[in-house]
A and B are shown apart, each in its own frame.
Chain A
Amino acid sequence: EAEVAQSPRYKITEKSQAVAFWCDPISGHATLYWYRQILGQGPELLVQFQDESVVDDSQLPKDRFSAERLKGVDSTLKIQPAELGDSAMYLCASSLSGRRGETQYFGPGTRLLVL
């Protein structure tokens, strides 16, 4: 069964360092989502791609976060510089076309700890 892949699974970094997370969605899925999940809370959307275009980045802290999906397939989320408050689980999800009501398939996530 096809799955969303993410790496690394865990990342420990120091404050002010740069970090990057990678996501490979299910093959053929046009829509890719990056969510941030703070411990004990529900995920919150950071950015959504439709193919290679950003369709929603309203909650992305653009002064330090960036995301790209250059060829409309895999995606990278970067934080520079990392802050203590960025410690969280970063989840990637994909869906076939991004229509409302469509199932989103989630990856295992990258757990980030900023020291």
Chain B
Amino acid sequence: AQTVTQSQPEMSVQEAETVTLSCTYDTSENNYYLFWYKQPPSRQMILVIRQEAYKQQNATENRFSVNFQKAAKSFSLKISDSQLGDTAMYFCAFTETSNTGKLIFGQGTTLQVKP
């Protein structure tokens, strides 16, 4: 079965500093997609960043970047220059084997950015 594991239930970081959230996954596929979604308190979940497995280059979106290690099945999220608005629950997600677009989510990491 395909699984996604986030081993850090909670993390905190000082404003303006950098933090890295960890994610590992298990799959036998060679081509797939990985995502980081952000769920702020009482607000809807939004996509932060996406990585296609066949692309060697790590994806970046402004202050957010990933470290994708395909052989190690690791997909960590780095947030640079952390802002108070980054306080949220972060979910790592993976596309399932079928072509339906179904996402399999990790357990989430609650990130608190402190002033």
Q: Which residues of A are at the interface with B, using a C-beta cutoff of 8 A?
A: 3-4, 31, 33, 40-45, 48, 50, 55-56, 91, 93, 95, 98-104, 106-109
**Structural contact, B102 and A45, CB atoms closer than 8 A:** yes
A-side binding surface: helix, strand, loop or mixed?
loop
- Enumerate chain A residues within 8 angstroms of B106, measured Cβ to Cβ: 42
Q: Which residue from B43, B45, B52, B101 sits with its C-beta under 8 Å from A99?
A: B101
Instruction: Give, as a whole number of angstroms, the nearest-CB distance from B111 to chain A.
Output: 14
Residues of B within 8 A of A (CB): 4, 32-33, 37, 43-47, 50, 52, 91, 93, 95, 98-103, 105-108
Q: How many A-B residue pairs have CB under 8 A?
A: 62
* A103 near B47: Cβ-Cβ < 8 Å: yes
The reply to whether B47 and A4 contact each other, CB–CB distance below 8 Å, is no
* Alpha-carbon distance between A112 and B47 when the two chains are bound, in angstroms: 24
In the complex, A115 Cα to B50 Cα: how many Å? 39
Say whether B99 contacts A100, CB under 8 Å: yes
